[in-house]
Amino acid sequence: MRTESDSMGEMQVPDEALYGASTQRAVLNFPISGRQMPEGFIKGLGLMKWACAMANEELEKLPSDKANILKEVAQEIADGKHSHQFPVDVFQTGSGTSTNMNVNEVIANRASQIAAKTIGSRDPLHPNDDVNMGQSSNDIIPSTLHLSVAIAIKEDLVSALSHLAIALDKKSQAFNNIIKIGRTHLMDATPLTLGQEFSGYAAQLNKSVKRAEKSIGLLGELAIGGTAVGTGINCHPDFPRKVCKILSKKTGIEFRQADNHFEAQGGRDDTVEVAGTLNTIATSLTKVANDIRFLSSGPRSGLGEIILPATQPGSSIMPGKVNPVMSEMLIQVCIYTQGLCNTISICGRDGHFELNVTIPLIAYALHESIRCLSNGARTFADQCVSGIAANSERCKELVDRSLMLVTALNPYIGYDKAAEVAKTALSENKTLREVILERELLDEATLDKALNPMEMIKPDGST
């Protein structure tokens, strides 16, 4: 152990640690969940410190020699090279001050290491005066929240959702000529093709991609420059504009200074809105995953219209049983995500006066949701959707047995007679054809045309 100090006094810090007294104090104060701040958030904070150093250098507030080593170390953090040096629990001070100081101390001590100085000497960088120049935890942490979540959505979630959309679209095209019975209210309805059904799933994912992309824009306003309470004390007036410009160029995401710094620090409505988008995406994925597992139910006592790839044994007692485990995985991911999104809404509600003090939990919930949704969607595409096969014989069997083909008879015999035909066919266990011909309601040629499923899936009768 070595001795370091902060404004509250001396602390014993592990020799191998790059962090200092403030971080060690937080580690001892918050032994809560064992969950550290998300890696994406820490990388984002490294990127934010890099941009702040560059802005302060351009403003001639930070000498170039200090700025260069600060940028070097901040980039290392942004690249994930020191991820084990950030042990502070998610459940900590609500402003995220402990995590901000954790990064400040790591940068300062790593700079000392590079400069062949004693760790803890604050030479050549001071964690507050240099690394935190023009900043407060109260503006840097919410800014990092927006920055890191926007990057995660762009790089992970949009990509994963697009991947699943493409997989579903391929199946839609492959299944386009397989006619099956439709279902509404879980009951038989008029026919459609399996491809048309899958096109709906692909469209849901394409809309999810657009929603995710739109949510990136919601995070474009950064609180940087507001410092302690939004007034910008101890901050150069051009600092926030420069930081936003630097980050925009670095990430390809458009960032701008908040229109109102008091809102940007006191409220977290933008992240609540993003959570609403993630909740919607989870809802959409659940619908798709549920439909696919129901369509595959069986293999002999269910619908059985599609066949899912077998990924693992389904039972410890029933030999040969195979379950729709990838659908079940994705549904659980979505349930988890929706719980996290509800947590974010509650966190956003609890912003009092000039600061919301639930930011670490919001950061954890957003990053965890994005991580799980991204991994879940990509895995579902690769391990399930890509291997789905159509059971065309089963689809035809169910179409032939369905009574809802009677809908096509409305223009020929009217709704009331058609309903009577359907009820008779059901009660007497006959086909629609048998009842129509027995009652001489239509001749065979007209009946063949009326009950042709291909005519029913294209309203204009085109082929």
Residue 27 near residue 37 (C-beta atoms within 8 A): no
Distance CA 392, CA 451 (A): 19
Is 136 designated active site? Answer: no
Is 427 designated active site? Answer: no
What amino acid is encoded at 377 in this protein? A
∠ Cα 72 75 80 (to 5°): 130
- Say if residue 294 is exposed, middle or buried (CB neighbours under 10 Å; 0-12, 13-18, 19+): middle
Residue 37 near residue 364 (C-beta atoms within 8 A): yes
Structure tokens at 364: 């954890």
Q: Is the dihedral of CA 360, 362, 367, 372 positive or negative?
A: positive
Composition of the chain by helix, strand, coil, percent to 5: 60, 10, 30
∠ Cα 52 56 57 (to 5°): 115
- Helix ranges, 296-401 (H): 325-349, 359-383, 392-401
Distance CA 335, CA 349 (A): 22
Residue 375 near residue 423 (C-beta atoms within 8 A): no
Catalytic hit among 185, 352, 427, 462: 185
Residue 73 near residue 111 (C-beta atoms within 8 A): yes
Residue 282 near residue 374 (C-beta atoms within 8 A): no
Looking at the DSSP assignment, which residues form a beta bridge with residue 194?
Answer: none
Structure tokens at 251: 């990430």
- State the first-to-last Cα distance of the chain, in angstroms, to the nearest integer: 80
Nearest to 355 by CA among 223, 232, 265, 271: 265
Catalytic hit among 5, 33, 297, 315: 315
Distance CA 202, CA 204 (A): 5
Catalytic residues: 185, 315
